[in-house]
Amino acid sequence: MTVRHFLRDDDLTPAEQAEVLALARELKANPFSRRPLDGPRGVGVIFDKNSTRTRFSFEMGIAQLGGHAVVVDGSKTQLGRDETLQDTGRVLSRFVDAVVWRTFGQERLEQMAEGATVPIVNALSDQFHPCQVLADLQTIAERKGELAGLRLTYLGDGANNMAHSLLLGGVTAGMHVTIAAPLGFAPDPVVVDAARVRAEQTGAMVTLVDDPQAAVAGADVLVTDTWTSMGQEEDGLDRVGPFRPFRIDADLLAKAAPDAMVLHCLPAHRGEEITDEVLDGPQSAAWDEAENRLHAQKALLVWLLERTESRP
Ligand code: CP
Ligand code: NVA
């Protein structure tokens, strides 16, 4: 039995990530060309946190692949109540061909994957948001062509899921990734080490800074995200003060490369991490980025299902 999971960005090698992105591009051009879930076969889609884009894109994507999405609110299941996550993974594998799960700690996904005999897909955890970054890479490739060698700068909470996934996913694609975050909000050193290992294979560079002006100088891609991620609303930290200089506004954008593009995974907090002028301006690709969740995730599911040999 072989099962491929997608729990974090470096679960795909550079060559594998390129295959998924090529398929995403193919599926965007021809959305109904692949039906691996005909039957319909099922995919479980579980949310322990709120979602708009992930919910719609997975449910529609699974339907377009010929399948049926069983979409559930995790709090209404036995998850984390009195059943181990390994046992839940074992049981769900008898009903569906893959499980897509948005949850809190990354270890919860790892535990479910231990018991599962079908692919487990991380639809956002506290540590990583790898499906989002596949869509981001697809969007960058659409505007810039070759990913390897591009300079991507993320500004904001360097310790959140987007920063971590951009680090791992970005260097996997051969991009030079800079994380610009206020002091005290740097990425997890364990993730930085993993990104540096991967960067050595792809010729990429990882840079951590706390100066937003220097970080954007000459960058090809600027990315930001909310300053307060889901689950952090009550942590009592003052984020607005330290994060203010990291907001992407027209002045900061003007310091990037002249044709720099801007990404935001959304939902955006207009006027906080990004201004209206930038988000709605010609250099923003945030709306294509949102659409590409659909295409990138369909490609990922097709790719994982083709490499998983547990199906009856
Ligand atoms: N970007 C993203 O994951 O959006 P949702 O939280 O709406 O799914
Ligand atoms: N960092 C954000 C991403 C939302 C899609 C969060 O976890 O809330």
Ligand 2-lining residues (CB < 6 angstroms): 124, 129, 160-162, 225-226, 229-230, 265
State the pLDDT at residue 196.
98
Atom 8 in ligand 2: which residue has the minimum CA distance? 229
Q: What is the pLDDT of residues 217-251, one digit of tens each?
A: 999 999 999 999 999 999 988 899 999 999 999 99
Cα separation, 302 vs 4, in Å, equals 11
ω before 14 within 30° of 0 (cis)? no
Radius of gyration from C-alpha coordinates of the chain: 19
Q: With the CA atoms of 239, 245, 247 and 253 taken in that order, what torsion angle do they form, in degrees rounded to the nearest 10? A: -170
Residue type, 57: S
What is the atom index within ligand 2 of the atom nearest the CA of 265?
Answer: 5
What is the atom index within ligand 1 of the atom nearest the CA of 230?
Answer: 6
Neighbouring residues of 40: CB distance < 8 A, sequence distance ≥ 6? 66, 67, 68
Instruction: Please tell me whether 161 is known to bind a ligand.
Output: yes
Pick the ligand that lies closest to the CA of residue 57: 1
DSSP class per residue in 77-144: SSBTTTB-HHHHHHHHTTT-SEEEEE-S-HHHHHHHHHH-SS-EEES--SS--HHHHHHHHHHHHHHH
Residue type, 294: L
**In angstroms, how far apart are the furthest CA atoms of the chain?**
57
Cα separation, 96 vs 89, in Å, equals 10
Tokens of 105: 């700690």
Report the run of H or E that residue 222 belongs to, with start and end: strand 221-224
Ligand 1-lining residues (CB < 6 angstroms): 51-54, 124, 132, 265-266
Active site (catalytic) residues: 102, 129, 132, 225, 265, 293
State the pLDDT at residue 1.
81
Task: Choose one of 134, 165, 225 to mutate for the ligand 2 pocket test, by most ligand atoms within 8 angstroms of C-beta.
Answer: 225
Task: Choose one of 53, 161, 269 to mutate for the ligand 2 pocket test, by most ligand atoms within 8 angstroms of C-beta.
Answer: 161
Instruction: Please tell me whether 305 is known to bind a ligand.
Output: no
Tokens of 149: 């060698």
Neighbouring residues of 304: CB distance < 8 A, sequence distance ≥ 6? 4, 5, 6, 98, 119, 121
Pick the ligand that lies closest to the CA of residue 131: 1
Helices (H), the chain: 14-29, 53-64, 85-92, 106-115, 130-144, 161-172, 189-202, 212-216, 240-243, 250-254, 276-279, 286-306
Closest by CA position to 177, among listed 162, 190, 185: 162
State the pLDDT at residue 288.
98
Q: With the CA atoms of 99, 104, 106 and 111 taken in that order, what torsion angle do they form, in degrees rounded to the nearest 10? A: -60
Domains, the chain: 9-128+293-306 (3.40.50.1370), 132-290 (3.40.50.1370)
Instruction: Please tell me whether 266 is known to bind a ligand.
Output: yes
Q: Which residues pair with 223 in a beta bridge?
A: 154, 263
Cα separation, 163 vs 127, in Å, equals 9
Closest by CA position to 256, among listed 219, 302, 290: 219
Inter-residue contact 165 to 12 (CB < 8 Å): no
State the pLDDT at residue 82.
82
User: Which residue is listed with tokens 């010609």?
Assistant: 282
User: Other CB atoms closer than 10 Å to residue 298's CB: what's the count?
Assistant: 24
Tokens of 30: 């021809």
pLDDT in tens, the chain (312 residues): 899 999 999 999 999 999 999 999 999 999 999 999 999 999 999 999 999 999 999 999 999 999 999 999 999 998 867 899 999 999 999 999 999 999 999 999 999 999 999 999 999 999 999 999 999 999 999 999 999 999 999 999 999 999 999 999 999 999 999 999 999 999 999 999 999 999 999 999 999 999 999 999 999 999 999 999 999 999 988 899 999 999 999 999 999 999 999 999 999 999 999 999 999 999 999 999 999 999 999 999 999 999 998 654
Atom 2 in ligand 2: which residue has the minimum CA distance? 229
Residue type, 312: P
pTM: 0.98
